[in-house]
Amino acid sequence: MNLCRKCFADSVEEKTRSTIAKYSMFKFDDRIAVAVSGGKDSVGLLHVLAKAGRRHPKAELVAVTVDEGIRGYRDEALKIAAENCKEFGVEHRVVSFREMFGCTFDQMVKRLKESGEVRVTPCAVCGVLRRKALNVTARKIGADKLATAHTLDDEVQTFLLNILHGDVSRIAKEKPLTDEVHPKLVPRAKPFCEIPERETALYAYVKGIRFQSNPCPYAIEALRNDARAMLNSVEEKHPGMKFTIFKSIEKIRPALEETAKKEGLGECVECGEPTTEKVCRTCQLRKQIMQR
Ligand code: SF4
Ligand code: ZN
């Protein structure tokens, strides 16, 4: 398919709008928290949603950036996120690991390494804490939905990672629009879930969007890199495979949802946030790291 720059950008915006409509992700008057890390996907999503929002004057966008406290990486991303929000007149909230969990992510990783703990990768910890920070912030600002920039690639990688971790019930929960299962959990929408990462990247270039391109210093250790490499190699030999996997997940999800429902969702005895366990994963990790 050969498209000029404008037609390509229009096609990404159109595909995103059609994914939003297909999964009924937003209502016309939703207050939407958008997770904006400063990377190409999240800044691109902010652009697409801000543009689409012009047709829905009653809908509101609030960008939320999590500052994990990763020296030399997140500082630049924060500036870029702020610049993009200013361009669209979108309110910007920043929440830091330091204020929410008591120390920066760099300090947490240092403690983890000093303890000799090798089973938990930095990204596994960061992912859990970031999800919590985003949910708590979205709830505090009264958001009806939390939009994240997960692409088709992210979705199939997560599927594979959940299989590798034996976490089958998460496959059921990780829908394009998550269900309202607990009043403290803001439903998460993924408008880019059917768009390949190479298209979201190209969209950012074509639109001249400024985004952070430096990789996170901890990314190298993530199991996700292996999942990404494997899926990219399959896609290269058999184009369309990622989308086929995505469609297969959609088909098997209803059967898995029955299993996930049986787990039930309560509140953590320590922090009161929703969890399927007595103590949520965030509190478990925090204790594990802080007490070392
Ligand atoms: Fe966190 Fe890993 Fe992403 Fe870095 S690469 S921001 S450690 S999840
Ligand atoms: Zn907890």
Residue whose CA lies nearest to ligand 1 atom number 8: 123
In the reported structure, the alpha carbon of residue 57 is separated from the centroid of ligand 1 by a whole-number distance in angstroms of 34
Encoded tokens for 88: 């669209």
Is 217's C-beta closer than 6 angstroms to any atom of ligand 1?
no
Ligand nearest to the CA of 69: 1
Residues by chain with Cβ below 5 Å of ion ligand 2: 268, 270-271, 280, 283
* Residue with CA at minimum distance from ligand 1 atom 7: 123
Closest atom of ligand 1 to 216 CA is 4
State which of 113, 216, 223 you would mutate to test the pocket of ligand 1, scoring each by most atoms of that ligand within 8 A of its C-beta. 216
Q: What is the torsion angle, in degrees rounded to the nearest 10, for the CA atoms of residue 67, residue 68, residue 70 and residue 72?
A: -10
Only one residue has tokens 């008591």, namely 102
Q: Is 216 in the pocket of ligand 1 (CB under 6 A)?
A: yes
From CA 38, how far away is CA 113, in angstroms rounded? 27
* 8-state DSSP, 186: P
Distance 126 CA to ligand 2 centre (A): 15
Helix crossing, 122-140 with 105-114: angle to 10°? 150
218 lines ligand 1 (CB under 6 A): yes
Q: Quote the pLDDT of residue 37.
A: 94
Nearest CA to ligand 1 atom 5: 219
Angle at 204 between CA 200 and CA 210, to 5 degrees: 140
Instruction: Say if ligand 1 is within 6 A of residue 168 CB.
Output: no
266 CA from centroid of ligand 2 (Å): 11
Report how far ligand 1's centroid is from the alpha carbon of 158 (Å): 14
The CB density around residue 87, as the number of other CB atoms within 10 Å, is: 14
Pocket flag, ligand 1, residue 219 (CB < 6 Å): yes
Residue of 228, 243, 146 whose CA lies nearest to 185: 146
Tens of pLDDT along the chain (292 residues) come to: 578 888 999 999 999 999 999 999 999 999 999 999 999 999 999 999 999 988 888 999 999 999 999 998 888 899 999 999 999 999 999 999 999 999 999 999 998 888 776 677 888 899 999 999 999 999 999 999 999 999 999 999 999 999 998 888 889 889 999 998 899 999 999 999 999 999 999 999 999 999 988 888 988 777 888 999 999 999 999 999 999 999 999 999 988 888 777 777 899 999 999 998 999 999 998 888 876 5
pTM for the structure as a whole: 0.92
Q: What is the CA radius of gyration of the chain?
A: 19
- Kindly identify the ligand whose nearest atom is closest to the C-alpha of 276: 2
- Atom of ligand 1 minimally distant from the CA of 126: 1
- Residue closest via CA to ligand 1's atom 4 equals 216
Ligand 1 in reach of 191 Cβ (< 6 A): no
